[in-house]
Structure 1
Amino acid sequence: MELLAIVAHPDDADIFCGGTLAKHADRGDTVTIAHMTRGEYGGFDTDEATVAETREKETRRSGNELGATDVTFLGFEDGRIEYSLEDRLEIVETIRAHDPDVILTHFRDDMHPDHRATSRLVTDAYYMASLPLVDTEHDPCDPDNVYFFGKPTSSFEPTTFVDISGYEDRKAAAIDHHESQVEFLQEHGGIDAEFDNLIDGVAAEDATLGKRTGVASAEGFVPLHDQACDYLE
C-alpha cells in the first residue's frame, strides 16, 4: 500500500498525521511526504533561502524518524500558494508520479491560506488524476480516497480515527526535529500553532481524540469517501 501526504509546510505532516504515517511505515507501507513549500517564511532569519535550507534539513530528519520512504519538495512559495489550473496540473503530476492508494492533506477550512489552497488543489487534482485526456508526464492513476486532517480550532470534525497509541514519543521526536520551527511557533503561539507549547499541545489534542474513541492517543481525519478501516486504506 502507498500513502502520499501532500502538506503545505515542513512540520505539517508530523503535527497532523505523524503517528499515522509512522504506523503505516512500520507495517511496510510506502509513505511519501510531499511539501508544497520549504517553509521559508517560518523563521527568524531575514534571508528566506537560509530559513528554507534549515527547514529542509530538519524535515528530512523528521521524515526519517517517521519511516518515510521519500521526502520531497514541490517548489511552491511559502505564504503564496494560489489556486490555478497550472498549479492544479502540477499536483496531478505529483499524484500520478507516486500512484498512491491514499492521499492525506489539509482540511478546506483552516486559518492558514496555504492550507486552504493546498486542500483545494489536492482535492481537485485527485479527481483529475484519473482522467486519461489530462496530459501529464505520468500515466493516469486512481487513488482510493483522500483523508483530510485539520486544526481543532476550525470547523474540522473528524469521523475517521487512527489509534496511534505507542507512537506518541516517535511523533514528538519527529516534531522536535523541526528545532527552528518549534522555537518560532512557541513565540507565535496562538497564531500559527494554537498552542503555547507545540509538542505538548499536539500530544494533548491526540489524547483528547483518543478518549473520544477509547484509546490512549489518536489522530482524526475526514474522508472524502466514507468507509470503515483499521488503517487508512
Structure 2
Amino acid sequence: MELLAIVAHPDDADIFCGGTLAKHADRGDTVTIAHMTKGEYGGFETTEESVAATRAGEARRSGEYLGATDVTFLGFPDGRIEYSLENRLELVDTIREHTPDLILTHYRDDLHPDHRVTARLVTDAYYMASLPLVETDHDPCDPDNVYFFGKPTSSFDPSVAIDITGYEDQKAAAIAAHESQVSFLEEHGGIDGEFDNLVDGVAAEDTTLGKQTGVASAEGYVPLHEQAEEYLG
C-alpha cells in the first residue's frame, strides 16, 4: 500500500497523522510526505530563505523518525497558497507522480488559510487525477480515498480513529525534530497560544481520542468516502 500525506507546512504531518504514517511504514507500506510550503513564515528575526532551509532540514529528519520513504516540497509560498486551476493541476500531477492508494490531508474547516486551501486543492485534484483527458506530466491514477485530519472543532468530528498505540514515542520524536518550529510556537502568543507545550499537547489529544475509542492513543480522520474506511488502520 502507498500513502501520500499532502500537508501545508513542515510539522503538520507529524502533528496530525504522524502515528498513522509510522504505523503504515512499520508494516512495510510506502509513505510519502509532500509539503506544500517550507514554512518560511514560521520564524523570528531572520530571512524567509533561512527559515525555509532550517524547516526543510527538520522535515527531512522528522520523516526519518516516521519511516517515510520520501519527503518532498512542492514550492508553494507559505501563507499565500491560492486556489487556482494551475495549482489544482500541480496537485493532480503530484498525486499521479506518487500513485498513492490513500491520501491524507487537512480538513476544510481550519483557522489557517493554507490548511483550508490545501484541503480544497487536494480534494479537487483527487477527483481529477484519474481523468485521462486531464493532461499533466504523469499518467492518470485512481487513489482509493482521501482521509482528512484536523484540530478538534465544532465541525471536525472524526468518524475514523486509528489506533497508534506503540507509535507515540516515534510521533513525539518526529514533532520534536522540528526544533525551530516548536520554539517558535511556544514563544508565539495569540492565536497559537494552544501550542505552549506542543509535544505534550498533541499527545494529550491523542490520548483523549484513544480513551473515547477504547485504545491507549489514536488519531482521528474524516474519510471522503465512508465505504473505504477499512483501508486505513
TM-score (norm 1): 0.97
Give, in whole Å, the separation in 2 of the partners of 1:193 and 1:227.
37
CA deviation after TM superposition for structure 1 residue 45, in Å: 3.1
Q: State the alpha-carbon separation in 2 of the partners of residues 229 and 148 from structure 1.
A: 12
Structure 1 SS opposite 2:232: coil
Distance, in Å, in 2 between the alignment partners of 1:88 and 1:189 is: 33
Query: Which of the pair is proportionally richer in helix?
Result: 2
Q: How many residues align?
A: 233
How many angstroms does 1:228 deviate by?
A: 6.2
Secondary structure of 1:227's aligned partner: helix
Partner SS state of residue 194, structure 1:
helix
Q: Which residue of 2 aligns with 1:137?
A: 137
The answer for the alignment partner of 1:164 in structure 2 is 164
Deviation at residue 193 of structure 1 after TM alignment? 6.5
Q: For 1:94 and 1:6, how far apart are their aligned partners in 2?
A: 9
**CA shift in 2, pair 1:24/1:97, >3 Å:** same
The residue that corresponds to 1:59 in the other structure is: 59
What secondary structure, in the 3-state scheme, does the structure 1 residue paired with 2:134 have? coil
Deviations 1:168-212 (A, max 9, x none): 111000000000000001112562363321011100000010011
Match of 2:201 in 1: 201
* Alpha-carbon distance in structure 1 between the residues aligned to 2:35 and 2:122: 12
Shift of 1:81: 0.2
Question: Is residue 36 of structure 1 aligned with residue 59 of structure 2?
Answer: no
Q: Deviations over 1:134-180 (max 9, x none)?
A: 00011100000000000114521100011001111110000000000
Contact 1:24/1:231 (8 A) holds in 2: no
Q: Quote the Cα distance in structure 2 between the aligned partners of 1:228 and 1:50.
A: 42
Instruction: Tell me whether 1:212 sits opposite 2:212 in the alignment.
Output: yes
- Cα distance in 2 for partners of 1:187, 1:73 equals 26
Regions of 4+ moved over 6 Å = none
Q: State the alpha-carbon separation in 1 of the partners of residues 123 and 50 from structure 2.
A: 32
Paired letter, 1:187: E
Q: Percent identical across equivalent pairs?
A: 81
Unaligned runs of 5+ in 1: none
Aligned-residue offset at 1:96:
0.2
C-alpha RMSD of the superposition: 1.3
